Structure 1
Amino acid sequence: MKFTALTTLFAAGLTSAAPAPTPSATPSTNVKAFNLMTLRSASPIHFGQVSASKSNIFVNLPEDAQDATCDAKVTNGATFSLRDGALFLYNEDTDEEQQVWVDRSGMGQGNVGYISGGQNPPRNAELTGWTSTVNGDFSYLNFNGAGLIACPAVPEGSWSVWVNAGVTNPGGSEGCLGFNAMVQPTEEPVSCTYS
């Protein structure tokens, strides 16, 4: 009797632990305006906000550290737009848009940054390859199918954003965490120029 009950409980546990089927993913290379929220359960970056400052992309940047000039008051998060696989910091004046780049070379190790008008990207930078992929009820940002990583940064409490280029702790960082970057479309985006 005990053996049968134990076997039944064990079998039920195996059934409930089986992964749910993954919905088919639909990629998009165009999203007009959106914010990004980081998802990594039981970590300091879970439900984090993605910001831009000093040519870098961050998670959990301290209040007012973003140093952006905007058309209206904004919180500390950046607004992005995605066009034809290129990721931009949202600005209504497309001449003022700042473009996000990725360096997956051996030197860059997945480094992510952005350039302002007239600037050249770093030598090994890639400017296209971003997609927003629908999975279930939500969409997630990735770069050529690779997810994102956050590494502890300065100022304290903030995390720098990298693309997963196969390096667990890029740039000599320690304690980096992979995360899902959930796309949150916004109907009333604020136009900004970031420092």
Structure 2
Amino acid sequence: MIFAVLDTNVLISAALAHNKYSIPYSVFRGVVERRFVPLVDDNIVREYWEVFSRPKFSFMQETINDIVGNTIKFAINQPVPPSGIELPDSDDVVFYDVARAHQDKGAYLVTGNLKHFPNCGFAVSPRDFMNIITPNKGNHMVNDNSAVYDPTGLLAALHEAQRQAHENGVDNLTEEEIEAEIKAARAERKKRLGTNG
């Protein structure tokens, strides 16, 4: 089995891709085709929901529920101890910590921003991750819950997200613009936690 933590930018890029052959889209297909098992914790789950709900992306709630909900449904969600590592962007530590905690499984951290994870041997680009999972085309993965996937429904949700992104004119956002939306969602969460804490 192959295990991987997907940085938020990979899922957003997949949902915004106007090309079904894009690398982030192919990584998402890897989830759908059970070529690997996603790994999350509650912090990653919160970030996925918050970023997908950003007004800039204009995804309908049903589409968000399908993409994020099903990705999480088939993931292994376990709390992990903090590593205490310092990264260029402190909000990326949660992704590092989850992948690090699952190194007994050889977990990867798949990110469009490798520079955010310097000297991290298990961080890989989406393209490199595709090279890792592609040789196992016929090897369908099942997570620890033996959950049954609905690849048709999940891919239909991704296609709907791409249609919505195209209609709303955000299907060609740059990686920098996607990262800016992720940072804004993180800042809003910190502000909310600061006022509620």
TM-score normalised by structure 2 residue count: 0.26
**Bigger fraction of residues in strand:** 1
1 or 2, which has the higher helix percentage?
2
State which structure, 1 or 2, has the greater radius of gyration over its C-alpha atoms: 1
* Length-normalised TM-score, structure 1: 0.26
